[in-house]
Amino acid sequence: MQFKELIGQKVIINRLIEGVSENRVSHAQLFAGKEGVGKLAVAIAYAQYVNCKNPSENDSCGVCPSCKKYQKLIHPDLHFVFPVVKTPKIKEPVSDNYLDKWREQVLESPYFNLNMWYKTIDVENAQGQIYVHESSEIIRKLNLKTFEAEYKVMIIWMVERMNVQCANKLLKMIEEPPPKTLFILITENEEQIIQTIRSRTQLVKFIGIQKEAMTNALSKLPKAEGKDIEGIVHQANGNFISATNLISPNELKAQFFDQFTNLMRISYKRDWMPMFEWVDKVAATGRERQKSFLLYSLRMLRENFILNLKQPELNYLDEKERGFSERFCPFINERNILIFAEEFEKAFRDISSNGNPRIIFLDLSLKITKMIRA
């Protein structure tokens, strides 16, 4: 992958290129930012540039043996770590167990999120982790001599999913790695990474993809023909994954919309039997889907509160969401927005901590019946 293939992020790319040209490649870097802004894509292109045999001032050559292997993600000195799940057949999973699927996912598009990854490996109802067994594999691989590149590169995607035991075992390796080792840690929530890991890395903060770059990228997609590109770019708010979903709405977002609107209607009516049925249905889904629904709900609450301000440039609702929200937004106001946010955030934390989903969602829905009339 070359820099010219990426969408936006020119400031960060130029800074990384400058570091290489001045021989200032930090051995451990933390790429942080929300989903869909291209952190993984930049990481791979950066690693390819670092190890390119004939780099130009602005990009890797794309034709040397190293670049060709990077483009297929098969370079022997390029390693990936990412969240995986335990299965009846794999009791102590590591990333190499899923490496073929990972390559398939990244080569299709490096712009994807956890739910898309779990769908690829057919474990949508599980919560993936980077388990302690992974640390031994990382240490083993990085202690080997490089096969043919100048740098051994270890890209850890969604490093906040690394469990504490694994993180603690890697502290010394990240702080004092073998010569010519490059760690690139990728996160959507740096606050969830243990401080001892964060303190050993150089932070590279990603912002949303710029509107012009997003517009150009979307205009090249066949499925975007005839779509309101300008409106989609505004609604996506710098997130390329959201933009592609707006062009071709996925089933999951439609389900979240229906779940959110049903919950609010049932809670307002205080219709108890449908509420219990709603709770049972949501509780039967996987934890990752439950967490994604709660994040979607927080977004909808924010958008409805902002909608009351009558400033459309601040809203990022699609047509279907706006149709509901124009009627619903008066119920989300300055008297209850903070309480709503706190309760949904609490439910998210409780689900993340493996709490009983039926109890958590029942408690949340009962509290909504009070808050929605505040």
Based on the fold, state whether residues 356 and 268 are members of the same structural domain.
yes
C-beta of residue 332 within 8 angstroms of C-beta of residue 301: yes
pLDDT at residue 124, as a whole number: 62
Q: Give the domain extent around 62.
A: 3-208
pLDDT, mean over the chain: 91
Q: Is residue 213 part of a domain?
A: no
Mean pLDDT to the nearest integer, 83-97: 90
DSSP sequence for 44-73: HHHHHHHH-SS--SSS--S-SHHHHHHHTT
DSSP 31: E
d(CA 355, CA 152): 40
pLDDT at residue 125, as a whole number: 65
Based on the fold, state whether residues 16 and 67 are members of the same structural domain.
yes
Mean pLDDT to the nearest integer, 155-161: 96
Based on the fold, state whether residues 266 and 154 are members of the same structural domain.
no
d(CA 261, CA 75): 48
Based on the fold, state whether residues 35 and 137 are members of the same structural domain.
yes
Q: Is residue 80 part of a domain?
A: yes
Mean pLDDT to the nearest integer, 225-229: 82
Q: Is residue 284 part of a domain?
A: yes
Percentage of residues in the chain having pLDDT higher than 90: 71
Taken as a whole, the chain contains a residue count of 374
DSSP 154: E
d(CA 269, CA 262): 11
Hey, how many other C-beta atoms are within 10 angstroms of the C-beta on 95? 20
CATH of residue 260's domain is 1.20.272
Residue 349's identity, in one-letter code, is: R
Q: Is residue 215 part of a domain?
A: no
Q: At 369, list the tokens.
A: 């019946």
Based on the fold, state whether residues 158 and 83 are members of the same structural domain.
yes
CA angle 361, 366, 370 (to 5 degrees): 140
Q: Is residue 226 part of a domain?
A: no
Q: At 105, list the tokens.
A: 């996912």
DSSP 130: B
272 to 107, 266, 365: CA distances (angstroms): 48, 8, 10
Based on the fold, state whether residues 189 and 258 are members of the same structural domain.
no
Based on the fold, state whether residues 10 and 139 are members of the same structural domain.
yes
Say whether pLDDT at 147 is over 80.
yes
Q: Is residue 311 part of a domain?
A: yes
Instruction: Report the DSSP beta bridge partners of residue 78.
Output: 153
User: Which of these three, 178, 208, 238, is where a domain ends?
Assistant: 208
Based on the fold, state whether residues 143 and 8 are members of the same structural domain.
yes
DSSP 162: B
Residue 261's identity, in one-letter code, is: T
Nearest to 196 by CA among 218, 225, 223, 175: 175
Hey, how many other C-beta atoms are within 10 angstroms of the C-beta on 298? 16
Q: At 150, list the tokens.
A: 């100048």
Say whether pLDDT at 303 is over 70.
yes
CATH of residue 126's domain is 3.40.50.300
Based on the fold, state whether residues 97 and 188 are members of the same structural domain.
yes
Mean pLDDT to the nearest integer, 99-113: 95
Band (pLDDT 50/70/90 cuts) for residue 354 is confident
Quick one: 149 exposed, middle or buried, by C-beta within 10 A (0-12, 13-18, 19+)?
Answer: buried
- 3 state DSSP class of 122: coil
Q: Is residue 235 part of a domain?
A: no
The total number of structural domains that make up the chain: 2
Instruction: Report the DSSP beta bridge partners of residue 185.
Output: 30, 156
The tens digit of pLDDT for each residue in 248-279 reads: 766 778 889 999 999 999 999 999 999 999 99
User: Which of these three, 208, 234, 261, is where a domain ends?
Assistant: 208
User: Which of these three, 182, 208, 234, is where a domain ends?
Assistant: 208
Say whether pLDDT at 225 is over 90.
no
d(CA 358, CA 285): 11
